[in-house]
Amino acid sequence: MWVPCAKIGPGLTMVSMESTMVAMETITGQRRASDLELHLGYWLRRVSNHVSGAFARALQRRRTSVAEWVMLCHVQERPGITPGGLAEALDLTRGAVSKVIDKLEAKNWIARSTKPGDNRVQLLSLTRWGNRILPQLADIADQNDREFLDGLEADERANLRRLLGKLAEFHQIRDVPIE
């Protein structure tokens, strides 16, 4: 990647850090980082794939999915949410939400009830078993975070969380990852 130099005074030129590193690598014979490795998106995706893949595999050992875990968390935070409200909160189709709700209901982790005075409206809540399993699934998520993020100091983890949140807010990323 070529970066133009800027004149900063008579006979003085400012050079980018990348240009300086390339020049030093050329002089010392060291390998220059590939263009791919210079992109933050590449590193975000590389790390994200490993973190989310390990989490999905750990949940699979408990016979559940990331989507089920996410929905359980949302129902716990919003008891009485409707399937449509859940679809809107997760930015999913009602059909996709309905399939996961059916699986959670079959596991007896979630229950449907009707709204008093309007039997057409379904309300979702966790069952006793759902309330028991959710902390266990949260422990799996916490362990996964520890395994992948323990290489960072607490303040670095906080900064990473803050920066990722800032990017999500800037780009108005509202959808919830379920895969």
Residue 84 lies in a domain: yes
Q: Which two tokens stand for residue 160?
A: 């990473």
Instruction: Tell whether the torsion through CA atoms of 102, 106, 107 and 111 is positive or negative.
Output: positive
What is the pTM for the complete model shown? 0.73
**Pair 60, 140 in one domain:** yes
The phi and psi torsions of 131 (rounded to 5 degrees) equal -70, -25
What's the pLDDT at 70? 95
pLDDT greater than 70 at residue 32: no
**Pair 2, 80 in one domain:** no
Give the chain's length: 179
Q: Which of 35-39, 92-96, 147-151 has the lowest mean pLDDT?
A: 35-39
**Pair 85, 161 in one domain:** yes
**Pair 18, 48 in one domain:** no
**Pair 62, 143 in one domain:** yes
Q: What DSSP assignment string belongs to 78-98?
A: STTB-HHHHHHHHT--HHHHH
Confidence class for position 173, pLDDT limits 50, 70, 90: confident
What's the pLDDT at 3? 41
Residue 59 lies in a domain: yes
Q: Which two tokens stand for residue 100?
A: 């996961």
**Pair 97, 114 in one domain:** yes
Residue 135 lies in a domain: yes
**Pair 61, 13 in one domain:** no
pLDDT greater than 70 at residue 20: no
What's the pLDDT at 177? 75
Residue 11 lies in a domain: yes
What's the pLDDT at 73? 96
Q: What range does the domain containing 122 cover?
A: 39-170
**Averaged pLDDT, 22-31:** 58
**Pair 49, 106 in one domain:** yes
pLDDT greater than 60 at residue 17: no
**Pair 9, 86 in one domain:** no
Domain containing residue 139: CATH number:
1.10.10.10
Residue 140 lies in a domain: yes
**Pair 90, 162 in one domain:** yes
pLDDT greater than 70 at residue 23: no
Number of separate domains in the chain: 2
Residue 57 lies in a domain: yes
How many other C-beta atoms lie within 10 A of the C-beta of residue 73?
16
**Pair 109, 27 in one domain:** no
Q: Give the three-state DSSP class for 138.
A: helix
**Averaged pLDDT, 133-144:** 96
**Pair 165, 108 in one domain:** yes
Residue 96 lies in a domain: yes
Residue 111 lies in a domain: yes
For residue range 57-93, list pLDDT tens digits in order: 999 999 999 999 999 999 999 999 999 999 999 888 9
